């Protein structure tokens, strides 16, 4: 987490410093907290965060200061939510169909399932994709947009790297991160509730 003290600084300096800190985090993302002394600076920071597609929040602090928290990238958002108040729900999807029976029906059902998942509030903290489930995060997936909505809502999307290598679709993964088995195990172990599909 990066902390910026912008008390006494006037716009656009708090915004510039925060933006630089966010950019310095690169792809991995992270959390920046900024302390400002006026609500207009808070509004300008949140305007930037929203414009850049980041989640943000703020809290009143002592001396009339305001602490703005901006979360860049999905990962950190959910780690925080999981430890604080998030749903604690992890969904593990190991196949590209849902249930036993017709494959065609199974594909319709899994698409419906993921669509419904992204309507869930609060959203799952993590959704894991492995084995043929890996196809669902690839550019060939007709659920890709729904998975992206999940990611935008703060859900961490992890796809098994061994699986994407095996199927030769690593380059096609269109959302979230590639994960190893250790990531998958620790995520499952840390779940408050786990749905296995």
Give the integer Cα–Cα distance in Å for 153 and 91. Answer: 15
Q: Which is nearer to other proteins, 1 or 16 (CB)?
A: 16
Chain residues in the site for other proteins (CB under 8 A): 10-13, 15-16, 19, 38, 40-41, 43-44, 47-48, 51
Q: Which is nearer to other proteins, 51 or 168 (CB)?
A: 51
Q: Which residues contact 42 (CB under 8 A, 6 or more apart)?
A: 36, 58, 66, 68
Q: How far is the CB of 114 from other proteins (least distance, A)?
A: 30
Question: How long a stretch of residues is the chain?
Answer: 197
Q: How far is the CB of 35 from other proteins (least distance, A)?
A: 16
Q: Which is nearer to other proteins, 54 or 130 (CB)?
A: 54
Q: Report how far Cα 51 is from the mean position of its chain's Cα atoms.
A: 17
Q: Which is nearer to other proteins, 23 or 57 (CB)?
A: 23
Contact between 176 and 74 (Cβ < 8 Å): yes
Task: Please name the residue ranges forming H helices in 25-100.
Answer: 39-51, 74-83
Q: How far is the CB of 16 from other proteins (least distance, A)?
A: 4
């Amino acid at each position: 987490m990066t902390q910026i003290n912008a008390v006494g600084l006037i716009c656009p300096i708090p915004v510039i410093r925060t933006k630089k800190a966010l950019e310095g985090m690169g792809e991995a993302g992270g959390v920046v907290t900024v302390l400002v002394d006026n609500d207009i600076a808070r509004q300008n920071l949140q305007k930037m965060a929203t414009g850049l597609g980041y989640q943000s929040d703020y809290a009143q602090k002592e001396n009339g200061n305001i602490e703005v928290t901006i979360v860049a990238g999905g990962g950190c958002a959910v780690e925080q939510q999981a430890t604080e108040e998030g749903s604690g729900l992890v969904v593990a999807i190991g196949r590209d169909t849902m249930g036993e029976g017709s494959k065609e029906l199974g594909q319709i059902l899994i698409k419906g399932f993921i669509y419904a998942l992204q309507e869930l509030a609060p959203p799952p903290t993590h959704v894991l994709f492995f084995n043929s489930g890996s196809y669902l995060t690839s550019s060939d997936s007709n659920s890709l947009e729904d998975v992206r909505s999940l990611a935008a809502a703060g859900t961490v999307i992890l796809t098994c790297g061994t699986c994407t290598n095996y199927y030769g679709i690593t380059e096609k993964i269109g959302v979230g991160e590639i994960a190893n088995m250790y990531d998958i195990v620790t995520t499952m172990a840390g779940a408050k509730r786990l749905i296995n599909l």
